[in-house]
Structure 1
């Protein structure tokens, strides 16, 4: 502790360039400050300051030692903050960016609010790629593989896509048996925000078979619209299984071409990498990890849900 006190005294003298001013800030005499600096110099075997009747200036060795001393004291302060925050109740504003998948995330976030009433959620729903750090988000939930080295990540779960429509639609238009049959059907499409292109329906093709150019009857930029129009029998949609789970279970939608769908996805929660994430970020990450995909499921050939 005496050595640590020597670091504190040294940094104060270096910042104020005065034994008197440093003593005043530390609540000790200038003489005590001078003795502490002298003991530190004796221990290190170098002179840290040039002293005169008018000024105190750092030596070259003192300048190098100041940089290290500041880092040491900052680490100690961070460790103290981490310990104190670990026992503190998570609280305060928490800004989170989320994809446009309200059916998956809103029930979980509602439970999170009940569990942590002192956290103030600020939710931003968008499918565009946000800059977490530059835009000031505490955390984001996104699909795909994390690529930003500035962010820490935790996998929430996986899902797959399904080709679906209402039973009434299939009765009226027939049921596709192979991907090429979709060319004779009404297809509901999603436009990717970042590129402006239509989302590709990843369907398995035979070797040498060209990619299908599917008919376009409607384009939107969210899941809910495609689900709504599919339920109304307006066409066939290509949707993630989590968005239609209950609709498949109660028979309002049916899956086709399950053997031909190749695409799977992964959800991650990401946050600015730090040795000491705040309690509110830690509890959000843990809560999402435990509740978003408690039992990952996928569609089977009959449009029902089965555990993976």
Structure 2
């Protein structure tokens, strides 16, 4: 038995929900499909599928094996792609993960150029500010902000995000404008907390060698960047957000800059992916495309 072929057939049977449709999709005799799956079950000494006259249901062991088969077949295909002459035109499904703000304001508007260049890639984009486990959740590549821990992941620096402090005109009219970071202790600030630890992030300010760290005072904290921006525009407090993110709100007058002259430590932005993905043509071209995209954005480009 060709075990790799049997895995491919088993996956097709699960995806199609039956042997007849799987055989049609594979352009193979139904008897051959059934024989390969039975041989796989015998080799593994487990039952992968419950068969009835009308339907096929995957067993608990079969569901776990199905997920493993998907990973193995994907790795085999990626290894073949990396050594083939068609590396310039990779194909297949690519799972990435990115923050909601980065997705909506940067990546998604630019995706037409990506698909024009790589029309055969099927992109699954997870959009969340929650840190994901790339290995456990089978994510091919993630774009993350901050210094990265030594996790065994491969990382490529894409750029740096600077931050500005701002508030809505309605908030400033009601509560006044802070003139120094220390004034924020008497203001309402919208805080941002870690989805992983629950810890609220401090704000830092730098000017002429002076560094000030502030734990913002306020009655609202969120863990999603889109919600954070909405809270600022709703006048719920002063916010500190990426310059790239704030630019359209500042230009429209929905937000106003406060504490001009005070900067913050820029946040490094990186593309990270598991070591077993470093040969993947799909990951390679996506990271290259993202790096080129960051270079076009003055407030995000690496320096």
TM-score between the two structures when normalised by the length of structure 1: 0.63
- Confirm or deny: 8 A CA contact 2:146 2:268 kept in the other structure: yes
The one of 259, 262, 271 equivalent to 1:260 is 262
Q: Partner residue of 2:93? A: 93
TM-score between the two structures when normalised by the length of structure 2: 0.64
- Number of aligned pairs? 223
* CA distance 1:110–1:199, shift in 2 (3 Å): farther
After superposition, give the CA deviation of every residue in 1:72-97 in whole Å (9 maximum; x if it has no partner): xxxxxx99864415446211110112
Q: Mapping of 1:1-308 within 5 angstroms?
A: 82-87=82-87, 89-101=89-101, 102-148=104-150, 150-204=152-206, 212-273=214-275, 277-297=279-299
Q: Partner residue of 1:73? A: none
- Aligned-partner Cα distance in 2 for 1:288–1:188: 30
CA RMSD of aligned residues (A): 3.2
- Aligned-partner Cα distance in 2 for 1:79–1:92: 13
Q: Which runs of 5+ in 1 are unaligned?
A: 1-77, 299-306
Q: Any idea what SS the aligned residue of 2:84 has?
A: helix
- Aligned-partner Cα distance in 2 for 1:295–1:205: 24
* CA distance 1:90–1:217, shift in 2 (3 Å): same
Larger radius of gyration: 1
After superposition, give the CA deviation of every residue in 1:187-221 in whole Å (9 maximum; x if it has no partner): 11111111101111113499999954432121111
Q: Which runs of 5+ in 2 are unaligned?
A: 1-77
* 1:105 shift after superposition: 2.6
- Confirm or deny: 8 A CA contact 1:153 1:270 kept in the other structure: yes
- Confirm or deny: 8 A CA contact 1:158 1:296 kept in the other structure: no
